[in-house]
Structure 1
């Protein structure tokens, strides 16, 4: 990171703010001393921001061209298996309807009446 970039200069200003305050507002510190401290703070902040960028550089998104070079993913192809058709024993037409007299419920299948109760 360049030393004269805006984030570097602002961080240096933040780090040297107490010395600049004492030099320009309270006037109990020499201005040359405060500005020397500011130049040292610029160098320190450039190193700090550079180190932070190096640490966080690996967390960024990869370029699509580089992503194609890595062979971490496995590609799988699935062939669709077609069913051979219906069995000869299967009915092709629906079961015949049972006539129900008016006002009565249709008969329930026996398996539905005895399923799950364990009494048979």
Structure 2
């Protein structure tokens, strides 16, 4: 990676909930050479900065079960006066991430769906 230097890679990834965002962040963070990961759920973008292969980043996101497309690849810019991160307004969980639902009935039995 030394020949390419530091790159800023912007991907499009669909986020449905907070769990999706955390899963993508953890999966990308396993790669070496990453300096910074930024996720903008409102714009459905992930920005990765560092000495990392763009194809490896896309493969990691796809391993997490999300589709990813590369928007831009280039040198990072000085972003001192960018707008501050706003809290994400995603639900705590979505139907894609929920796998088990347990309900307890009034008569002592429980149902696992």
Which TM-score applies when normalising by structure 1? 0.30
Structure with larger Rg: 1
TM-score by length of 2: 0.32
